[in-house]
Structure 1
Amino acid sequence: MSSAAKAMSKFRLAVVQMRVTSVKAENLSRARKLVKEAAGKGSQLVLLPECFNSPYGTSFFSQYSERIPGESSEMLSETARENQVYLVGGSIPEAGEGGRLYNSCLVFGPDGELLLKHRKIHLFDIDIPGKIRFQESETLSPGSGLSMFQTPFCKVGVGICYDMRFAELAQLYSRRGCELLVYPGAFNMTTGPAHWELLQRARALDNQLYVATASPARDETSSYVAWGHSSVVSPWGEVISKAGPEEAVIYADVDLQYLADIRQQIPVTAQRRDDLYEVTSTQ
């Protein structure tokens, strides 16, 4: 492999686990500062958490929602351009067409151009008696599309939080050439310790790709307490970088040659029995 090819086979990923307050301007300012910090340490792709510009909760979505373009998307575009990074803008409450609200992730390129908008496909509607009840569908509408973007390094698939529980989505992204999946998320104190890391490792291992997740930092005083523990998992299913509960920026050097080696050593993609089963998309 040439030195140029070797250079392109690796890139630095940063995951920003930031403290989110009820003051939107504060959140935007903090996000901009932390992305700059990540870029200063050589990161070429930076991931922000779910609902990075507002508290997470059905009572907040309408109050903090924005049209796109809007204040938050403009900040993301400028920050990506200023720092010359691919910026996965976590998610924001989006005021969509017909009065509908969406939980939406915006991705910007190093030139500040919008590459995609992913609206959360699977809404977080759960009810665990005595633990937690949360119904995103009370205020949000679901998205209806897969979302991928191309970088000079690899193709990236995007999901938001609860989307990670659906293995079929990750399989479709893998089949379409993605080598990294990013999930801005905000698992809670019930599902976080039980499933957060397990789901990331499963998605990475099953599809032999990298998985990165970004959670808000934990705030015990908020109405919804996030688990934190933003992570990056390798195609071997190994957690290679992980935050604790507090605000932090974590880093991982994504090695696409390592990914290719694993796919060659354990060639599950070539060994699938497409004559017996398949996962398909309507898109």
Structure 2
Amino acid sequence: MASMSDNVSGAATKFRLALIQLAVSPLKASNLSKVRTLVKEAALKGAKVVALPECFNSPYGTNYFPEYAEKIPGESTQVLSEVAKEHGIHLIGGSIPEEDGGKLYNACTVFAPNGSMLMKYRKIHLFDIDVPGKICFRESEAFSPGSTMCTFDTPYCKIGIGICYDIRFAELAHVYTKRGCQLLVYPGAFSMTTGPAHWELLQRARAVDNQVYIAAVSPAHNENDSYVAWGHSSVVNPWGEVVAKAGSEETIIYADIDLKYLSDIRQQIPVLKQKRQDLYSVQAVQN
């Protein structure tokens, strides 16, 4: 007899996702050591897919990126490969500063349970903002933008990857959904200005827009960092409900991704089945 977590074809309809809200230090070796420890903890608690935050091996800041940048494959991705294989999980490696051909990229790698690298995603939308009196940050001073969307398959569902600022661009999430993704994961480091205002709002919006699960995983909050991350890693379901949420400290949060529930939501409110009108093709009525 099939279990509650299996459908008639034998494929799992539920799996456990873990988000590691890492307290990133200036010591790369310490960050990598903690990754080994915390990924092990998540796997022992049943996580089949584990995600790390943006810039998990490096402090976040344009002055740090050139110093901490690596080739891929390199030291940090080797650790990711080893721990994914050791624990038999899919590991979403947050992001690291990548050096390639004299350019730097904000890059996320994903590793399979056998330790092989499934994909590399380079952040498409760079974090260039200026909120007077609060924050001015220009990621483009260090990074070049990526140009390719990336998805990967698991035994459970297809997963799409964005990084931080990418979550503000609804088109990216929509394309991923059209490509069959049921879970979108955004490693991110929202600031103390944008985090309280938009972090959860954007996750819930993308979840409801596309009737998918959204997971956003941040570094832990540290007032002593030159760039202070908001924290509050969280998972939102296709109904727009926050089903798991961290505070500001280093922690691991878990959510059981229920693909049967996702399917039910899509049947109840079938927006994805309806043809979306191209508003740009509609001529305005002249009065």
User: What TM-score comes out, normalization by structure 1 length?
Assistant: 0.96
Q: Which amino acid aligns with 2:219?
A: P
- For 1:265, the equivalent position in structure 2 comes to 268
CA-CA distance at 1:273 after TM superposition:
2.8
CA-CA distance at 1:167 after TM superposition:
0.2
- For 1:195, the equivalent position in structure 2 comes to 198
| Alpha-carbon distance in structure 1 between the residues aligned to 2:61 and 2:116 | 29
CA-CA distance at 1:275 after TM superposition:
6.0
1:73 to 53, 77, 81: 77
Q: Deviations over 1:224-274 (max 9, x none)?
A: 000000000000000000000000100000000000000000000112334
- For 2:15, the equivalent position in structure 1 comes to 11
SS in 2 for 1:8: coil
CA-CA distance at 1:96 after TM superposition:
1.1
CA-based RMSD: 1.3
2:122 to 113, 119, 123: 119
- For 1:90, the equivalent position in structure 2 comes to 94
Matches within 5 A, 1:1-283: 2-3=2-3, 4-5=6-7, 8-97=12-101, 99-274=102-277
| Alpha-carbon distance in structure 1 between the residues aligned to 2:87 and 2:205 | 33
Q: Which amino acid aligns with 2:195?
A: G
Q: Deviations over 1:118-153 (max 9, x none)?
A: 000000000011000000111110000001000010
| Alpha-carbon distance in structure 1 between the residues aligned to 2:122 and 2:279 | 32
SS in 1 for 2:184: strand
Q: Deviations over 1:168-216 (max 9, x none)?
A: 0000000010000000000010000000000000000100000001100
User: What TM-score comes out, normalization by structure 2 length?
Assistant: 0.94
Q: Which has the greater radius of gyration?
A: 2
Q: Which amino acid aligns with 1:129?
A: P
Structure 2 unaligned residues grouped into runs of 5+: 282-287
